[in-house]
Amino acid sequence: MIVLATVFVTLAAALHIGIFILESVAWARPAIWKRFGVANQAAADTVRPMAYNQGFYNLFLAIGAIVGLILYGVGMHAPGLALILFTMASMVAAAIVLVTTGRSYIRAALVQGILPLIGFVLMLLA
């Protein structure tokens, strides 16, 4: 069970690193900001600082999950598990908040929230 839990936590971390890249590194490309529903270059320029900042939040959550997995893997089970559960719960909570901003965000929230939710539950069961 721990192997499967580790896979889902790792996938959740990888997804959030990918989101970081989109929001903080590649935002200037129209294909990227259009994915986020931004209509034009002026709007993309306006929200760029927010996207940049938000991308780093995603990166920090991913780093937390990875550090938690490392701690767990080297035998520091309690702190590793605590960090994993915290970061997975934070990712799920962020997905829930995303849904509250409008029905058009349900798909994005599911993409961002399913992997950490599964990882959270599997870590509890492992």
Per-residue model confidence as pLDDT tens for the chain (126 residues)? 999 999 999 999 999 999 999 999 999 999 999 999 999 999 999 999 999 999 999 999 999 999 999 999 999 999 999 999 999 999 999 999 999 999 999 999 999 999 999 999 999 999
d(CA 59, CA 51): 12
Residues 114/100, Cβ–Cβ less than 8 Å: no
**Assigned token pair, 11:** 């996938």
Task: Give me the pLDDT at residue 77, please.
Answer: 97
